[in-house]
Chain A
């Protein structure tokens, strides 16, 4: 059972068809969770049964931003925080295509925070994947909007004084139609969630808690990638359909994961079509008012 002679005959990894193999091995550190999420995303794109010519992956700057460079689909690596504006333009120009935004917490919700909340408000048909590693990994582990209170980073050596964002609650409050959170070790559930998010019409958001052993774990006494991955998974508790406001990331207690929101709203493109065809609804209720006045006049005439 020596694997080596077989390897010569079968050198191809099953995901190689969607990878730019000339760029692999990628730049992510040993034990980084982004690779697992990337693997899941490729599986999900294959499983969702989409025409792969119609799928585009857009990403911003940062470790997770490299995803667009490694996937052998139409992809674009945008400037910092501007993955969603680019994806918005792409979606409006090619409404038949499926646009996936894959980016990190710092890119998507710090510098790109306003783009995120407005895309969710408009309910643009995008799939947003946020790999949350609790710090700015690529630049050396600085404080990010997701860094837990008290966690040590390069810029907060005594511990972070800030309360972190709850991304899932933010997305749900802004109007996202699909919101889920998993850790990088919930691979099968994450893949199912990604398939659902890709197929969902509207703004779908999936957050993944991924280990960053090099920049985040090292400064917080968890150096081994496996320990960090296991810790996230062991402390997580699955609560599907929970109110996202209650789904907190509390390292001393529980990391609440699960599929929190799955609802239906009219998307931006539907509404835009209505307005362009002059079929927009009577938002002031003037038609209703006019009918009531006519009725009153008819009543007075009798």
Chain B
């Protein structure tokens, strides 16, 4: 991430890590979460769910910071994130 000024507590503050979980069959493919993910973690899958919509999936190369905005913006209760226990 780019900073215009390096925060003084950058080394001491642990960065929250999250893991995005998608309830595929609830998704209706509105792409709100993909557009408003602050870290660009999400993208639309090439696969279809049971209702024929493309659903979002997390890019494993990108870092989710567990801001849970996708959870708040999803009108379908189809996506949420949990704290990643590995870090």
Whether A3 sits at the interface, judged by CB under 8 Å, is yes
Chain B residue numbers with a CB within 8 Å of A14 are 71, 80
Known contacts A25-B51, A30-B53: A226-B30 contact under CB 8 Å = yes
User: A191 to B51, alpha carbons, bound, how many Å?
Assistant: 30
Contact assessment for B23 and A30 in the assembled complex, using a CB-CB cutoff below 8 Å: no
Whether A1 sits at the interface, judged by CB under 8 Å, is yes
Known contacts A1-B58, A30-B28, A226-B30: A13-B23 contact under CB 8 Å = yes
Count of chain A to chain B residue pairs whose CB atoms are closer than 8 Å in the complex: 88
Within 8 A of B (CB), among A20-67: 24-26, 28-36, 38-40, 43
User: A188 to B73, alpha carbons, bound, how many Å?
Assistant: 10
User: A26 to B26, alpha carbons, bound, how many Å?
Assistant: 9
User: A235 to B31, alpha carbons, bound, how many Å?
Assistant: 21
Contact stretch, chosen from A4-12, A89-97, A172-180: A4-12
Whether B21 sits at the interface, judged by CB under 8 Å, is yes
Within 8 A of A (CB), among B37-87: 51, 53, 57-58, 60, 69, 71-78, 80, 82
Contact assessment for B23 and A11 in the assembled complex, using a CB-CB cutoff below 8 Å: yes
Contact assessment for B75 and A38 in the assembled complex, using a CB-CB cutoff below 8 Å: yes
Q: Which of B21, B30, B74, B77 interacts with A10 by CB under 8 Å?
A: B21
Q: Which of A15, A188, A226 interacts with B32 by CB under 8 Å?
A: A226
Residues of A within 8 A of B (CB): 1-3, 6-7, 10-11, 13-16, 19, 24-26, 28-36, 38-40, 43, 185, 187-188, 191, 225-226, 229-230
Chain A residue numbers with a CB within 8 Å of B23 are 7, 11, 13
Chain B residue numbers with a CB within 8 Å of A24 are 26, 76-77
User: A137 to B63, alpha carbons, bound, how many Å?
Assistant: 38
15 A–B contacts from the bound complex (CB under 8 Å): A3-B20, A7-B22, A7-B23, A13-B80, A14-B71, A15-B77, A16-B77, A29-B28, A31-B30, A185-B36, A185-B73, A187-B72, A225-B31, A226-B35, A229-B32
Known contacts A187-B72, A226-B35: A25-B26 contact under CB 8 Å = yes
Chain B residue numbers with a CB within 8 Å of A29 are 28
Measured CB to CB, the closest approach of chain A to B16, in angstroms, equals 15
Known contacts A6-B19, A25-B25, A35-B74: A225-B57 contact under CB 8 Å = no
Chain B residue numbers with a CB within 8 Å of A31 are 28, 30-32, 75
User: A30 to B75, alpha carbons, bound, how many Å?
Assistant: 8
For B69, the closest partner residue in chain A by CB is: A187
Chain A residue numbers with a CB within 8 Å of B71 are 13-14, 39
Known contacts A25-B76, A36-B75, A187-B72: A30-B30 contact under CB 8 Å = yes
